[in-house]
């Protein structure tokens, strides 16, 4: 028997389409509706043959579409908030993939994005990183799915943050092109990306305040330098975190990570630096931690698939928690 009905709003983009695929094959949820803004009337399988989802992309029509128990919203930042509010108003439980409900402080949101149109919902939103907020997610009605970079960075840094060991942080991130979305721009043209690598969003990429907010919640109030780079690959994201350690902290890092993540089903530790191939098409975050003794520093690498753990499969992980299902159902 199938469980609760679900809709994916904004399923023409990379992350929405993948969420639709994962929910379409999910043993419990029943994917009922997929909507889009630009490809209305087309079959999702035409746009994404490899997802094999036989549903038509519909125009937004909440009267009809909101008769679901849960929704994944994959709208651009700034445009998601209104739809999320409408869905919540109709009692639909929502996982939102945008940044609109990740920052708890509307003023910070406004500084990095624009004025928030639904600040009244911020208090209700739970930050959807299960490894940090599992219990709160279970009872949440609105989950703000983390950004892809914050997902990897926070899983890399949380053990150190909790122990008060972070004194200064540089995060150098590398991402595949799917992270830039389906929009066809000069930046995503094959000839621009191929045989190339360069930084973007320098300085001050928008994921910075999200990382800082959550580190602070773990007890580490500091400013981070975060710089992403675009790489010639499609899926995959690696964050390389360079941490100046607080002077008095412990230094035995491997056991700390092992203890922290021993029970986590989707965090893997490795001794060698992880590669993004190791986690492609999975909900797994793979982490290695190292010490550089010459300048005393910790180096932590974390690899995820930006479309999976960095977006769509983490959304399903959150839905599983919200509806009392096994956390890995449909994404293992």
Cite the active site residues.
Answer: 148
Q: How far is the CB of 208 from a second copy (least distance, A)?
A: 8
Half-sphere exposure in the Cβ direction for 147 (13 Å, CA): 27
Q: Is 201 left (phi over 0), alpha (psi -120 to 50) or beta?
A: left
SS3 state at 228:
strand
Judged by CB under 8 A, the stretch of 79-87, 89-97, 145-153, 202-210 that binds a second copy is: 202-210
Residues β-bridged to residue 300: 241, 289
Residues β-bridged to residue 198: 230
- DSSP 8-state symbol, 126: E
* Site membership for a second copy, residue 281 (CB under 8 A): yes
* Site membership for a second copy, residue 236 (CB under 8 A): yes
Rounded to whole angstroms, the Cα distance separating 9 from 73 reads 5
SS3 state at 8:
strand
* Site membership for a second copy, residue 132 (CB under 8 A): no
Q: Which of 2, 42, 49, 105 is the binder for a second copy (CB under 8 A)? A: 49
Q: Which of 278, 323, 328, 329 is the binder for a second copy (CB under 8 A)? A: 278
Among residues 137 and 241, whose Cβ is nearest to a second copy?
Answer: 241
* Site membership for a second copy, residue 260 (CB under 8 A): no
* Site membership for a second copy, residue 229 (CB under 8 A): yes
Which residues, 6+ apart, have CB-to-CB distance to 50 below 8 Å?
none
SS3 state at 62:
helix
* Site membership for a second copy, residue 43 (CB under 8 A): no
Q: Which of 208, 313, 317, 318 is the binder for a second copy (CB under 8 A)? A: 208
Among residues 139 and 184, whose Cβ is nearest to a second copy?
Answer: 184
Rounded to whole angstroms, the Cα distance separating 167 from 222 reads 8
**Residues that bind a second copy in the complex, under the rule CB under 8 A:** 14, 49-50, 168, 170, 172, 174, 176-178, 182, 184-186, 188-200, 202-204, 208, 222-225, 227, 229, 231-236, 238, 240, 242, 244, 270, 273-282, 286, 290-295, 297, 299, 301, 303
């Amino acid at each position: 028997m199938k469980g609760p009905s679900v809709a994916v709003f904004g399923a023409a983009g990379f992350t929405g389409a993948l969420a639709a695929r994962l929910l379409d094959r999910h043993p419990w949820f029943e994917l009922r509706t997929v909507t889009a803004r630009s490809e209305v009337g087309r079959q999702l399988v035409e746009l994404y043959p490899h997802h094999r989802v036989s549903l038509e992309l519909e125009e937004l029509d909440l009267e009809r579409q909101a008769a679901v128990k849960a929704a994944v919203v994959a709208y651009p930042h700034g445009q998601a908030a209104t739809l999320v509010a409408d869905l919540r108003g109709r009692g639909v439980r929502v996982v939102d993939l945008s940044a609109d409900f990740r920052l708890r402080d509307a003023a910070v949101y406004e500084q990095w994005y624009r004025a928030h149109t639904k600040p009244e919902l911020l208090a209700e939103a739970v930050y959807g990183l299960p490894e940090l907020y599992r219990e709160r997610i279970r009872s949440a009605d609105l989950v703000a799915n983390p950004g892809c970079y914050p997902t990897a960075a926070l899983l890399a840094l949380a053990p150190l943050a909790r122990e008060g060991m972070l004194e200064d942080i540089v995060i150098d991130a590398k991402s595949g092109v799917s992270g830039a979305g389906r929009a066809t721009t000069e930046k995503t043209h094959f000839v621009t990306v191929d045989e190339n690598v360069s930084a973007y969003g320098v300085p001050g990429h928008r994921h910075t305040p999200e990382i800082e907010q959550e580190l602070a919640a773990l007890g580490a109030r500091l400013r981070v330098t975060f710089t992403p780079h675009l790489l010639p690959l499609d899926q995959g994201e690696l964050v390389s975190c360079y941490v100046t350690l607080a002077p008095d902290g412990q230094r035995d890092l491997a056991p700390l990570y092992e203890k922290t993540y021993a029970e986590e089903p989707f965090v893997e530790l490795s001794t060698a630096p992880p590669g993004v191939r190791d986690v492609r098409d999975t909900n797994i975050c793979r982490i290695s931690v190292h010490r550089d003794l010459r300048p005393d520093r910790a180096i932590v690498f974390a690899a995820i698939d930006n479309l999976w753990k960095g977006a769509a499969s983490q959304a399903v992980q959150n839905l599983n928690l919200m509806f009392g299902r096994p956390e890995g159902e449909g994404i293992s």
